[in-house]
Structure 1
């Protein structure tokens, strides 16, 4: 799995305010702000998936894109993280991969994202993040600042 690492500049004032809060209150504020910021990536992924979905079938990758809090990662490291990805049913792909209609299983999503030897890649998840880094960081900064101000007033 690819991992993007980058440094964030311009959060000094928000970080100073965050230090004034307790860990629990800070995590709650951070989680709320991070969810709103990650929602931009999820929306972009859904929009991008519409471009690669097969209009002939009833199921759409777009319907299975999820935004999920990484609770196990949080418990182990204390770091807040949201995941944006395509959810599919566990287990083997049913024989003949039946079309279950809207919201049906889309186990083929990674073949479209990464491509195969017979089909070129049509990435829709990776560009959702890479094309929206600045809007996500801006939203995170404003939402986190709002959440901190709200917590400090209480």
Structure 2
């Protein structure tokens, strides 16, 4: 996957963004990117369902989440939404007990990346790589819609 993207189709959205007051710009971007990121989140959940262990109640797919990185936004001014697997903080309990549905899955990265004992079974990376075009197109479309809604409210 490429490290850079040539975004096309955002010209009118950028013009609308510049016309809005600064306090409204972030909301439109977060909403549009959140909707676009849901494509990756849903694909990651589908991919993870295929690798869940049927003998345990815990499922990696239950813990796939997307989050707005507000700290990053405060530092840089850029909006970042990440898709990953939520796990409980702290040490992994001895024996890694099965806590049932929605249970902690601290081993997810071992499944994604593999170990010397086990081949990798990636589910996050393919979720993004297979949906890049749809995510970019969805972000552009959703950003246009959000900006139109905000402009309509501000003009009313």
**Which structure 2 segments of 5+ residues have no match?**
none
Shift of 1:7: 2.9
Secondary structure of 1:52's counterpart equals: coil
Which residue number corresponds to residue 107 of structure 1? 106
Shift of 1:92: 1.1
TM-score, normalization by structure 2: 0.93
Which residue number corresponds to residue 118 of structure 2? 119
CA RMSD of aligned residues (A): 1.2
Shift of 1:131: 0.5
Which residue number corresponds to residue 149 of structure 2? 150
CA distance in 1, matches of 2:4, 2:40: 16
Which residue number corresponds to residue 6 of structure 1? 5
CA distance in 2, matches of 1:144, 1:86: 26
Which residue number corresponds to residue 81 of structure 2? 82
CA distance in 2, matches of 1:112, 1:5: 27
Aligned residues: 152
Which residue number corresponds to residue 17 of structure 1? 16
Instruction: Output one character per residue of 1:13-40: Cα deviation in whole Å (capped at 9) or x when no partner.
Output: 2111111111211111111111101111
Which residue number corresponds to residue 32 of structure 1? 31
Shift of 1:4: 4.3
TM-score, normalization by structure 1: 0.95
